[in-house]
Structure 1
Amino acid sequence: MSRVSGYSGGGLMIKCEHPQYKTKPKYICKESDGCSERKSPGVQDEWMENGDVSLYDDTRTGVLMVFFRELKAADAGTYRCGVNVSHYTEIFTELQLNVKHDAKYPESMTESVHLGGEVNISCQVPEEHEVHFCKEDDNHICQKISSSKVTQMNGSSERNEERVFTVSISNVSVRDAGVYWCGAETRDTYLTFISLTTKIQLNIINTYLTFISLTTKIQLNLIMPPVVRHEGESAEIICPYDSIYKSKPKSLCKGKCSTRDRNTLSETVREEKETKTDRLTLNDNVTASVFTGTITGLTAEDAGKYWCAVTLERDLNYLYTHLMVIMNEELNLTKYEGDDVSIQCKHHDEDQKSFCKAHEASMCVKDGDSLETIRDDRFSFSDEASTGVFTVNITELREEDSGIYWCGAPVITKLHLNVKRNFSMIIIISVCVILLLIGGFTLTVWKLRHKRRGDAHTHLPTIPSDGLLYAAVSFQKREESLSDAAVRFSKEEIHCDYAAVSRRMRLN
């Protein structure tokens, strides 16, 4: 009995070979229910869905292909893969399917490449297995790619158990958009098992397109730059396409284009025609391979994600862009340094919350996604998903926080924040400084005066008469020396002997 393994959530392709019975009807069934429910395509040489699997009975090679789109634990068990040789005879091969659970798989990733450029996709596979690289078709069947544009490079071992291999896609075109898978292929005598473990989303960039991404399941979509317009204005959404689709009907839809998910802002245009419904006009320019949608009288309800689609067997949603509407009503906030402020912004559940400081709103978006460009611990976000509102809290405002902010996504509100210096605090501080200076000056003057008084007290005369000012002095000779007494004055010194000094008061 052959054994095959796949990962929960991943894809699995089983190929049962019956080369000697190419045209005989083939089937697969699970033994646990006695093979009572046999799954077969019913129609040969065409993919058919049967429950959660797709089947293809190839009469050219005699191979039955069974594709499990998304493995579940319930899919594990023993299967018979057989062929009805006649009404009484059948031949089958048994296989044991094991469904593993690993947080690592299925892996998803995104890559970007310019139109006409080259992209390299790296995947990991077990060392002993062959590499399988495929792209989903319109029926979500992963078909192996046979193109000269796709080159597989030799892998290198990262660990003993797994190796990394790289697939290169050159000269990328719009048709390369889609979902890719890579995984491991195991061959047995009459069975081939392909376990798909990596989903890759490939996005392409050109003059109109912002980027193309690849993921391990690879979904290739084209993304256009966001369109930013004011409420009441008109918005033009440009959808370039490959020239092979010029004769196909094309649609522009808010939300994905499908028969069961149509928005009022959805319309289809056919080759070289113009269609108009209410406020939406579509025009297809097949010469330039571009169709354009114009929406007039924009409102908040018009904001969101718009998809460009080409109708094949079903709608192929290959490109999208974000339409962002700036509301005419602006917010003006005036605060002071040191204050705290809370600002409420609107957003949709599926959109990234956006609060950005920039001169223009278009500077706040990149590749169709809003960016939270503020990196500061003073800024914090709190989300109220049920109300479609998130709150931005800013603490300890500074003067440099002043400026223009854009709040919300995809409906944007312009906010003018003016942070003033707190003059009341400045006045209080200034008064305190002045009072301190006055107090210091007063204290200094008082100390100087006190010092002078102290010095004057030290030099006061000890005899009261020493401090007298005499208005006149009369000299009188001593009686014992009346005959020869004299008074002498000189510049350097004055010597005089007094017999008596009389004091008089001078009246002015």
Structure 2
Amino acid sequence: MTFLVFIFLLSFLQVESAKISSSSSIFGPRQVTGLLGGSVTVKCFYPRTNVNRHDRKYWCKESTRQCATVISSNGYIAQDFAGRATITDFPEQGIFIMELSKLGLKDIGFYKCGIGLNDRGLSFEVKLDVSQGPKVPEGAELYYKELGGSVTMNCAFGTQYASVRKYLCKMGKTGCSTVIDTYGNVNPTYKGRALLSPQETPGSFVIYMTQLRKEDSGLYLCGVGEYGETGESKELDMHVYQETAVPQGRHTINGVIGGSVSVECRYDPRRNYTLKYLCKWRKNGCTQLITNLIMMIDSYEGRIVMHDNPKNGTFTIIMNQLVAEDAGYYWCMTDGDVERKSSKELKIIDGQPGLTGLKEVNAVIGTRVTLSCSYPCKYYSYQKYWCKWNNRGCKPLVSYEQNQTSPAVNCDEENKTLYLTFNQVTQTDQGWYWCGVSHSGHYGETMAVFLRVNGGTIPRNADYEVPDISNSGSGKRADFPADSSSPSSQEHDNSKVILSVLIPIAVVCLLLGTVFVVVKFKLLKRTELVSVGSYRTNISMSEFDNPRELGAKENAGINNSQETQIGGVDEFVTIPANTESAEEPKVVKRGSKEEADMAYSTFLLQASKVAEGNA
């Protein structure tokens, strides 16, 4: 009973192994050649499924009846090959290598490298030839690539071919048909999928091929000069297998003028990729547009951004403000031990962008600004967002919150409009802002708006109302006038009022202080000499209660006078008509008190004029 169960399990494992691997195939060199008495190395590739990694690998020699095992990974080795055959498995890389030494003429024949319990499993036929020398022909370089994946082929020739035509062609029944060359010729089947890039070393170049198809399997030649006529060539043998852990997205993307597109690039999340980038394909190169290492072409400022999601193995490139020249092929690129490349074709078609709004807005520092983005009904259930763009990405801005000072996002679902509001715009708010939609973690359409913040005087009584653009399509720009209720406007008006009050007060205080000092000095330090009639004597002003009683006239010796009324009392301030020609009048001496009174009146008059002049 136990024996029957064992046989059943063994058969089950063998069936499962064949089932799991049936969609793929093992691959190796079509022919290998070694020198007599020398050795050969055969490298065989296999899909890296769990069953294949742990299954038996073998090397067998074909005959008319069977394929007799030479050596296997289980430890078996045929007697005729003892001491000169080895097999080594590298399951993490999906490779096992067989080496055979001390080659003899009897070793010539057909062999198989395979996986499974017997020769009816997965296998690949290899022809072994033994040469007596002196030189062994170089074998084809092998490339084992998954369906939809990419490949990099390195070709190096001498410096004498630096200026000669370089090419890649595929062998067929009638010759070798050109795939791509440095003259700009590209086979239509490979347009946008193949790229030839010269290297720094003269005579060396690299061929990249992406979006690999099953029919891409076959023998290729990379060379310099003309195939079959001049130059040199090298064989490249490629096999495309079906098994892949990386899903493939759509390869053609449609966009409209002024609109946007999202390019989703996929990679194996189990692998470590240092570099991820998008480049635009050309016949003689691929122009790098943006990378995950914060590198971007200046002409794409505000137009392109990258979002990387290592959890699901995708990085998304969003490009907006599309123009006709953006049509073409774009490559998603990665580096690492197993590189990842894929291509997408962008087609510009007729139509209108789904998201509409003003594309440029001017505002003044301190004002309230609102950016608007209208969306169609098809995006009603989508997630909507505003983000601020920079060369590192586009940072999402928060939804509306009460009393917050930072920019706030608010959605008017009735009018199908998404708003971004700045209560008091600052200089640091200047830049690109993106309105966008997303659905189930996938980025959709976007619209870019440039906010330009200017300084300067804020006009009074200027209010801004958000324009209704829900049905107006996309505009070019909007100018935001200043808001008179803003703090900067109030501070400007208050400063003018304060200055108009402080200047007169300062002048009055200065004059008052000067007069006080003069009068005080005269009262304390001086006794005036007063003339009474024809007599002269020293008399203190305190002895005169009324100067009129002594016959003194207030206007004595004054030719011209101007009358000014101050405080209801008639005072006279003299203004000489001509100080040079006027005859010098007889001076009437006044007492200190009288002079003080007149000086005080003069001060009041001048202070009043100053105040009126600054009012």
More strand by share: 1
Greater relative contact order (CA < 8 Å, ≥ 6 in sequence): 1
Is TM more than 0.5 here? Answer: no
More helix by share: 2
TM-score by length of 2: 0.29
TM-score by length of 1: 0.34
